[in-house]
Chains A and B, each alone.
Chain A
């Protein structure tokens, strides 16, 4: 368990929305640019690393109750997306680094990535 604030500081992330929720706890991590995969693979309070930056990212993060979204490779959400994120209490963070680099640092911080939904037998 890591605090989102620690993640933001260690990775030098720029938070673009809902910073007031940054005392959330991160219980795991997930990286994908496919939204359905994130729905399945990211557990509650997981941090999601993606290069997608559009409105639906907020919907997924809010519905899956994620701790936050790190948008990589310099992609930036537009104002409409930021406004929605503020409304839904979703923390969007941006970085110019790649998903690979960010995941590497997250792993070194002890963030794990087990899938919350067990595979059906």
Chain B
């Protein structure tokens, strides 16, 4: 199973891309009656290392720079191409994927493959360089598509003009549904990625949203809501529920204090670190709770560091835990 899954993006593309997409379509060719001296000029002018030999559309062979050098060494520069070309032609079909070409290169140790269509007519030339170029281009196309959607999201705050624009994302969180733990925060993380937030901010949001989400799942009677309000310079996340409420908020904030039931602790939750983790990740935090009514946690993460400094000093919504 590991073998099957062992694909990188490049490997995937090698299997997906048809040769036709990467081959050179303008075929530079020589006639069998051209001289080796003329061939030398064709190779030099076009900066290539080999060409197919065609006679009135009919493929007769290939001749490469290697054949040219041999002819030069033997002083055979005025011989016709026909005499020095090789007639052993390695072809691939234009519809096959690039991986077939890679195999043929490895197998035959040739510099170029002749690409033919279903009728066997020469439609292109393929070198190792063409494959590299084609793969890079395909990767950058994929990359560009992601960049474009990122760009669009990133500019939402510039494109839509108001005195104060904010984007509000609401996630409903069900109580006691541990399997869904992290779903809301994962979606929020993805949204921030799209909006072009910097990784450090994304990480802080992901951690604090996850802890808030888990609190809603583990501790509430009926679940609650995770609301992220994004503004150009800050993100405010609220976790709101309707009970049971926290009897002593200061105690709840103390690192290691936990009221989690055993079934939760057995799977690694309930360390009593949730609110402590949140506090470490945010620029401001406010926790209000009333037993029998509900709890409201509000946190702010700034996107600009100067703003964070200011807010940090106001972190005293709560007494610092010791």
Contact = CB atoms under 8 A, between A and B. Distances in A.
Interface string A37-67: 1011000100000101011111110111100
Contacts of B185: 59, 63
B269 A15 contact: no
A58 B206 CA distance: 14
Contact of A15 (B2, B186, B272, B281): B2
Contacts of A35: 214, 268-269, 271
B210 A54 contact: no
A36 B269 contact: yes
Nearest to B213: A59
B204 to A, nearest CB: 9
Interface stretch (B5-13, B32-40, B166-174): B5-13
A60 B273 contact: no
Given A15-B2, A63-B206, A63-B210, A52 B186 contact: no
Contacts of A33: 268
A80 B181 CA distance: 14
A44 B210 contact: no
Interface residues of A, number: 33
Given A34-B268, A34-B273, A56-B267, A64 B207 contact: yes
A40 B181 contact: no
A17 to B, nearest CB: 8
- Which interface class (under 10, 10 to 19, 20 to 34, 35 or more) fits B? 20 to 34
Interface in A66-94: 80, 86, 88
Given A35-B269, A36-B211, A56-B267, A19 B206 contact: no
A20 B1 CA distance: 11
B267 A54 contact: yes
Given A18-B5, A36-B271, A52-B267, 15 more contacts: A23-B8, A35-B214, A35-B269, A36-B272, A36-B273, A37-B271, A37-B273, A40-B276, A56-B181, A58-B182, A63-B189, A65-B206, A80-B179, A117-B281, A120-B280
A39 B211 contact: yes
B233 to A, nearest CB: 23
Interface string B267-293: 111011110110111000000000000
Contacts of A17: 5
Given A20-B7, A56-B182, A88-B186, A64 B206 contact: yes
Interface of B: 2, 5-8, 178-179, 181-183, 185-186, 189, 199, 203, 206-207, 210-211, 214, 267-269, 271-274, 276-277, 279-281
Contacts of A64: 203, 206-207
Nearest to A57: B268
Contacts of A88: 186
A62 B206 CA distance: 9
Given A36-B273, A55-B178, A117-B281, A62 B268 contact: no
B280 A39 contact: no
A87 to B, nearest CB: 10
Nearest to A33: B268
Contact of B2 (A19, A34, A44): A19
B5 A44 contact: no
A88 B271 CA distance: 25
B280 A40 contact: yes
B257 to A, nearest CB: 12
A78 to B, nearest CB: 11
Contact of B5 (A20, A37, A80): A20
Nearest to B209: A63
Nearest to A63: B206
A88 B7 CA distance: 16
A86 B7 CA distance: 13
A55 B269 CA distance: 12
